[in-house]
Structure 1
Amino acid sequence: MIQISTEEDHVRREQGDFQDFVEGMNNKDVSFIDRLVDPNFVDHDPAPGQKPGLQGLKDLMQMFFAAFPDIHVTVNRLVADEDTVAGAVTTEGTQDGDFMGIPKSGRKISMTELHMMRVEGGKMVEHWGVGDGMAMMQQLGVLDQE
């Protein structure tokens, strides 16, 4: 029997890929990146100093895991179409290590982020993202709350 893939099937798959990415982050093991991210991955909104490609993404994740060992991402909302998924997430953690030149503070962060990923063949090929970095810097005590 020939199986016809519907747009609804694609949407479910893309949402599952996003959830798998978040689960990988919450497990704090960068091996999920090789499984879920294409070797030619492009991050259109890299973090300051983030190198391009897979290695840049792995380095970024390892930096977050070292600085915030209890980091946890919660998916608040997902929307998807045929090859793109967007998610609103909340990232929380305690800074128990140096982070981008900021010494360990023991402070907790809670940051809202929006991420959009384009997926081909079950792997993320492009990423766009925005987070409330200003709020995070305030929570870490680097910037005044006012």
Structure 2
Amino acid sequence: MLLTIFLVATPFLFYFYKFAPKGVEEWETFFGNITSGGFDNVQIYLHALVTKLTFVLLTGIWFLTSRNWWRYAILIPFTMFLFQLSGVINFKIDYIDEFDFWYSLPIILPILILLVYISYIAGKKSGDSDELKQEVDNEIKKLLSDDL
């Protein structure tokens, strides 16, 4: 139930930055003061922050709720979004979204190697399923034919 509410609220979270005043470098809220950091104003900072945070949350939920064997491939964009989010939060970094790929490469490579290996193993095992598929097709043809 909580997951459903969060997923429905995601578009509203994505546009949260529009509540911030334009052209202001510091915004006082009941959560505390929000400064623009390395951005021109608070609204631009919140846009970058909320966009990255939304993608981190959605890919994290997708990874945690997926039951497919390829779910580890979701970790690749997840790590990219995490590095981008850390670049937005750490405003002392002069670049955002430029070198995140190279920093996340040590995490991405083992995942890719694992996925290629799993794909290879799954491809080898699918040869056995051709015989089973043929038997199932023959049984369906018998059931659907008039020769019962």
TM-score range normalised by the length of the shorter chain: under 0.3
Structure number with higher strand proportion: 1
Question: TM-score normalized by structure 2?
Answer: 0.26
The structure with the largest alpha-carbon Rg is 2
Comparing both chains, which one has the higher relative contact order based on Cα–Cα distances under 8 Å and sequence gaps of 6 or more? 1
Structure number with higher helix proportion: 2
